[in-house]
Structure 1
Amino acid sequence: MDTPNRALVTEAAVDLLHRLQERHGALMFHQSGGCCDGSSPMCYPDGDFIVGDRDILLAVLDVGDGVPVWISGPQFDAWKHTQLVIDVVPGRGGGFSLEAPEGLRFLSRGRAFTDDENRALAGSSPVTGTDYQRGARPPSTGTHVVAKAGEACTIPFK
């Protein structure tokens, strides 16, 4: 089995990322750990958020020239069995995230990896901020883009 991607992005989020890239250049995400950001994926101009040595690079999304998706080491330990799906929904984004003025906000959805996927992931070490500086990148299988979040994970309906 191929190593599954740790992060995916929906087509709607890709559309917004393209607009933000036109305005701000290269982008990056950092999955917030909560507090005032409410566990949102925060979108920044690439390099505006200082990545720590122990932050984990989940993926480099195949959008534009690539959009890295980072998460803190302790949060990765809690989420390492979960595939992150970055989606976009109506609403106001986090105050520091680039989509805030757009009337849309990025939203993290998650899907637990299957036993087979967890076994495949067990053979690869996560890429830390230190590893990234040395040129390491996470494994990637195919595209990171899914048409809708429901293709990657179950979405509860009211």
Structure 2
Amino acid sequence: MTTPEEAAAEAREASVLRVADIAFDDARSLLARHGLQLHRVTDGAPIPGSYWGAPEAGIIGTQVYVRGDTPVHSMLHEAGHLIVLPAERRTQVHTDATDSIEEEDATCYLQILLADALPGVGRERLMRDMDAWGYSFRLGSTQAWFDHDADNARAWLARRGLLPASCVAA
């Protein structure tokens, strides 16, 4: 029997934007600008390189794998893991990109920025979806973390030239 808390969590997770809800070519183009290839796996099939298992996105080398039911935030998060890595490390990745807290924080920040480049997504929607999925931040929400507690992540990305020009002066 499902508890009310479990039912509420399932409803929140069901409301997140999925890869099937956006234009796949837009996502493919965005990732290609960062040297990554996006692959759509047949619905119901296992997702190669998925750390958490389906429907979460998977990564192997410079390849990002998704299904139609993969949350957009998951696709952007896993792509972000590869983007923050130097090219020589990217090719060695299979399923698990990092053990570094700094890289994980930078990845979370970057996935939010990447959402702005996807029509119909945007950072506000992505942050709501991250909260619904269960991302956990000290200040209680992704938005609060992004606005008030992500200076280290932002600085980490800036030092590596990974912030869009519009964010560098902000």
TM-score scaled by length of structure 1: 0.27
Larger radius of gyration: 2
Higher strand share: 1
